[in-house]
Amino acid sequence: MFIVLEGIDGTGKSTQSQLLAEWFRSQGREVVTSREPTDGPWGSKLRQSAASGRLSPEDELDYFLKDRSQHVDELIKPSLSAGKVVILDRYYFSTMAYQGSRGFDPQEIRSQNEAFAPVPDHLFLLDIDVDTALSRIGGRGDTANEFEQRDSLQKCRDIFLSLKDEPFAHLIDSHGSLEEVQEAIRSTLA
């Protein structure tokens, strides 16, 4: 089973993916958790760029695709073939949302990815409003930056929400406690 957790920053994806992994393990299932960007060479360059200056939109998109391609070949496909449960914190839906918010066409990004990346069995869209996201991540800065950040997070949220009617997608209101959100994910899967 291939499960992906997505959402804007501050939705609690990484905690939720760990809690979900524990739940599967308690049922005797073998679980692999991972995240994107990965800790591989392309992913590391992307994480560094967050501190040392952002890449051009074209290079950024290219690096995310290379990072994912390696992730698919080296971890995702082999783990699924071995019958493991794979839980990802971010996947190509983040590229649709974030690089989409930088001006690329989300649908084109989707096709580009689905040419090599398997579609998940379950996509959980963890949703919170942008004000809650900003207060959770302690988003501060001068007024212009704050507006800029708010605007691009809103675009990302809208792109994630546009996926809610996909047959494999589940929209999860994530304003509640960690326990409530985890319960909503587990009951959906159960």
**164-173: which pairs have CB atoms within 8 A and are 24 or more residues apart?**
164/125, 166/123, 168/119, 168/120, 168/121, 168/122, 168/123, 169/123, 169/124, 169/125, 170/122, 170/123, 170/124, 170/125, 171/125, 171/127, 172/124, 172/125, 172/126, 172/127, 173/127
Does position 64 interact with ligand TYD (CB under 6 A)? The reply is yes
Nearer to ligand TYD, 94 or 182 (CB): 94
Closest of 80, 85, 69, 97 to residue 11, by C-alpha: 97
- Find the binding residues for ligand TYD in span 23-52 (CB under 6 A): 36-37
For residues 99 and 174, which CB has a smaller minimum distance to ligand TYD in the complex?
A: 99
| Torsion over CA: 127, 83, 117, 88 (sign) | positive
Least spacing, CB of residue 190 vs ligand TYD, in Å = 27
* Cβ-based nearer residue to ligand TYD, 8 or 31: 8
- The answer to whether residue 9 forms part of the interface with ligand TYD (CB under 6 A) is yes
Does 63 help bind ligand TYD (rule: CB under 6 A)?
Answer: no
User: Nearest distance from residue 19's CB to ligand TYD, in Å?
Assistant: 16
Reduced to 3 states (helix: H, G, I; strand: E, B; else coil), residue 177 is coil
**If binding is defined by CB under 6 A, does position 174 make contact with ligand TYD?**
no
Which window, 22-30, 87-95, 158-166, 179-187, contacts ligand TYD (CB under 6 A)? 87-95
Residue 71, interface with ligand TYD (CB under 6 A)? Answer: no
List the one residue out of 33, 49, 31, 41 whose CA is nearest residue 68.
41
Using the rule CB under 6 A, give the single segment among 69-77, 90-98, 120-128, 158-166 that binds ligand TYD: 90-98
Interacting residue ranges for ligand TYD, rule: CB under 6 A = 9, 36-37, 64, 90, 94-95, 98-99
